[in-house]
Structures are given as structure tokens and as C-alpha cells.
Structure 1
Amino acid sequence: MPIFDTQSRDQLRKMYLDAWRKHREGVPMEPLEAQIADVVALHPEYQAALERSDDVLDRDYTPESGQSNPFLHMGLHLAVRDQIATDRPPGMRAAFEALAARTGTPHDAEHQIIECLAEALWEAQRAGRPPDEQAYLRRVQGLAGLRIR
């Protein structure tokens, strides 16, 4: 989703707020807005905050605050969904389908994949290199109970 590369933090957060508002009002949405609204709908714990836009636009979510960053979490859902749709890395779609069958719901499977993605991103950032897509895929395949190549 290249649109995210050119947006500031505030612009990205506003996209979430606007998409959720449009969803609640039942007005037409762009495809990306519909994807965002779908992810928000799966997270009732974030909905009230998104409806109080003044509270979340400027808030810094730090580990010390004890609150997870809803925008990061939902953004990781969108990233995982994009990976599944494009089958990148190759094998991701099959691993997701197997994991969803194992966990019982696509949403639960996405949450497990998000943990793997966050770990891969953290490792890459710490090492100052791009994420290792194959190591990431092997983690997801392992969760899904697939034979790891």
C-alpha cells in the first residue's frame, strides 16, 4: 500500500478516523477506507477512541504508558492482509489458510502472523538490515503446522 509511504503520522491516523466515521455513517468509501473500516470493526476495544478523534490524533503510545498503539496494531493487520493477497513472500497465502484453519478464525490467524511480523521487523531494525522474508515465512509456516522448507 504505497499510500502509507507518503503520509505523515497525523494523516495516517486521520485516514483511520475518517474510514471509521464513514463506516458508521454508512456513506460510500474508497477501497482502502473499506479495508481500514473492516479492521476497526474487528477491534471494538479501539472504536471508542477513534470516535473521540481529539484524544488519539496527537497521543504518543509508548511502552511506558501501558497502552498498545491501536494504529500500529491495525496497520499490521493491513500489512498482513496485503501479504496474503499478494502471496508475498511466496507461500504466505497457503500458510495463512492453514493457520486460519488451525486457529478457527482468520482474525486469530492474523494476530499470530502479526506477532511474527513484528518480531521480524524488530530484528531487522536492530540489525540495521531489511527484514528476512524467508525467516519470517518459516515462523508463520511453523505456527500453521506446515513443513518448513
Structure 2
Amino acid sequence: MISAQRENLRRYYLTCWQKQQAGQVLEGLEKQVAAVILEHPEYHALLTESERALQQDYAPEHGASNPFLHMGLHLGLREQVATNRPVGIRDIYDNLAERYGPHDTEHLMMECLVANLWQAQQQQQPPDETTYLNCLVKLG
């Protein structure tokens, strides 16, 4: 089941990229995915190799960075900022973006997001918004 879900998610990214490259109309989330892909030219070659993109494993213990996870974190952060959830994240983002620019700010914020998600998983608890926001504030 996890493998099928992973493949479906990756196919969605591939479809968004193919539509973007073909100049087709993108809707809603497709536009957001394509925008993140455009900001990551280092992933463009991979996204044109459908089978490799679908099958590739990215083991952190081997130093591999998962491009789909990375792009997904961008999308998740953008959703958090757009909805200001957790409350206060939009102001933190705006302040950091003035200093570092939007894309680099997201990369900085990802470190806190990943740490918070990892901690929640280890404790088998929901993510702690206060800890997360405190980590983000320290970035500034």
C-alpha cells in the first residue's frame, strides 16, 4: 500500500511537470507543484525519466536526499503560511523572507518542520506547534 501511494504521489509530480513542459493548462494544486519544480532545476532531469523517478529509493543513511519529500515540504510550508497555521507562522515567514528571500526561507524553515515531525513520530504524538514555532523564531 505504501509503495502504491508513493508511486501515485510521484506520478502526480511527473504529470504536473509534463503538463508544465507542454504548456498545458494547470489547475489548483498542479500550479503549486509546477512552481516548486521550476524552483528546483536540479530535479528536472529526474522528472523527465519517469521510470527512474518512480522506482528510485532515497535512503538517508546513504546520504540520499528525496526530491519528492523536499518539494512536498515546500508545498506544506506554503500551505502553513497561506493559512497561518500554526498561528503566527505567516509573520515569522514574512520576517525571514525579508532577510533571506522566499525560497531560502523555506529551506531554513524546513529544518524546524522536519525536526518537529521526527520528534512527534518518535514520541508517537501529534507535532508540538509551540516547539515548532519556537524553533522558527530562533531562525531570525
TM range (shorter): over 0.9
C-alpha displacement at 1:66, in angstroms? 2.7
The runs of 5 or more residues in structure 2 that have no matched partner are none
Percent identity between matched residues is 50
The runs of 5 or more residues in structure 1 that have no matched partner are 1-6, 145-149
Partner in structure 1 of residue 117 of structure 2: 121
Partner in structure 2 of residue 133 of structure 1: 129
What CA distance in whole angstroms lies between the structure 2 residues aligned with 1:47 and 1:126? 33
Tell me which stretches of 4 or more aligned residues in structure 1 moved more than 3 Å: none
What CA distance in whole angstroms lies between the structure 1 residues aligned with 2:120 and 2:48? 34
2:20 match: secondary structure? helix
What CA distance in whole angstroms lies between the structure 2 residues aligned with 1:143 and 1:64? 26
Q: Does 1:35 align with 2:14?
A: no
What CA distance in whole angstroms lies between the structure 2 residues aligned with 1:12 and 1:83? 20
Partner in structure 2 of residue 108 of structure 1: 104
What CA distance in whole angstroms lies between the structure 1 residues aligned with 2:9 and 2:132? 26
The number of residues matched between the two structures is 137
C-alpha displacement at 1:87, in angstroms? 0.1
TM-score (norm 1): 0.89
TM-score (norm 2): 0.94
Q: Which of these residues, 70, 74, 77, is aligned with residue 80 of structure 1?
A: 77
Q: Does 1:68 align with 2:65?
A: yes
Alignment RMSD: 1.1
Q: What is the CA deviation profile of residues 69-109 of structure 1, one whole-angstrom value per residue up to 9, with x for unaligned ones?
A: 00000000000000000000000000000011121x10000
2:87 match: secondary structure? coil
Partner in structure 1 of residue 139 of structure 2: 143
